[in-house]
Amino acid sequence: MIQPRRLSRDVVIEGLLARDNEIVRWLYLRVYKYLERYISGRNGTPLDAMDIFHEGFLLLLEKFNNNIFPNCRSIPEYLFGICKNLWLKYSRSSSRLQELSPALAESLIEPADPDFPVFSDQRELKYVLYLRYLPMLDVRCRRLLEMYLQGKSTEMIRQELTFLNRNALYKKKFGCLRKLAEKIRQDPDYRYL
């Protein structure tokens, strides 16, 4: 088991190319908790963080397999940067999803053949499940999450929904997200994620 907090760049690269599970675990432990904190601080979920981490890790391996080695001192920091850029790209594309027409959104929520769901990717499925279960939340939760989805500022949401302070708003937001996640996990389509 690898104990050191720091491993040299070359040791990490060699370990990843050799598919050394201890190096992979070491890298995961150095990056994931910070990435999850970063993404959850930007309206993401733990599932988003896991997806982004895996995608970033695969991109890193692909670079190494193609003999493209970053000119950096720390592979964990480099991987975090890749993941951060992926998250920013994902957040921009998901903000485009907000602009769906009501008819298109409705067709996504109610597929023609529910036994054969077809989604272009997992993010689309997540968004569809989000839209499917959002109306089942209580009015205050629904309004709060819709305002975040519309890109309203935390202060604007706090004032409009009359929360005493930001901490109360954040507590309610994460409680609402937890309820929504529980409903989504019970959906039969969840197995496709």
Tokens standing for residue 94 = 């998901």
Task: Say how many domains are in the chain.
Answer: 2
Is residue 111 very low, low, confident or very high in pLDDT (cuts 50, 70, 90)?
very low
CATH number at residue 51: 1.10.1740
pLDDT of 121 higher than 60:
no
Q: Which of 78, 97, 116 is the last residue of a domain?
A: 97
Domain that holds residue 48: 9-97
Q: Is residue 151 part of a domain?
A: yes
Q: How far is CA 10 from CA 5, 16, 65, 167, 169, in A?
A: 15, 10, 14, 44, 45
70 and 142 belong to one structural domain: no
pLDDT of 26 higher than 80:
yes
Q: Where are the alpha helices (DSSP H) in the chain?
A: 9-17, 21-40, 46-65, 75-97, 102-109, 122-133, 139-149, 154-160, 166-185
Q: What is the pTM of this model?
A: 0.48
Q: Is residue 165 part of a domain?
A: yes
Q: Which of 97, 115, 134 is the last residue of a domain?
A: 97
| Terminal Cα distance for the chain, rounded | 31
For residues 110 and 165, the answer to whether their CB atoms sit within 8 Å is no
77 and 157 belong to one structural domain: no
pLDDT of 62 higher than 80:
yes
Residue with more model confidence, 48 or 91:
48
Identify the pLDDT of residue 115.
42
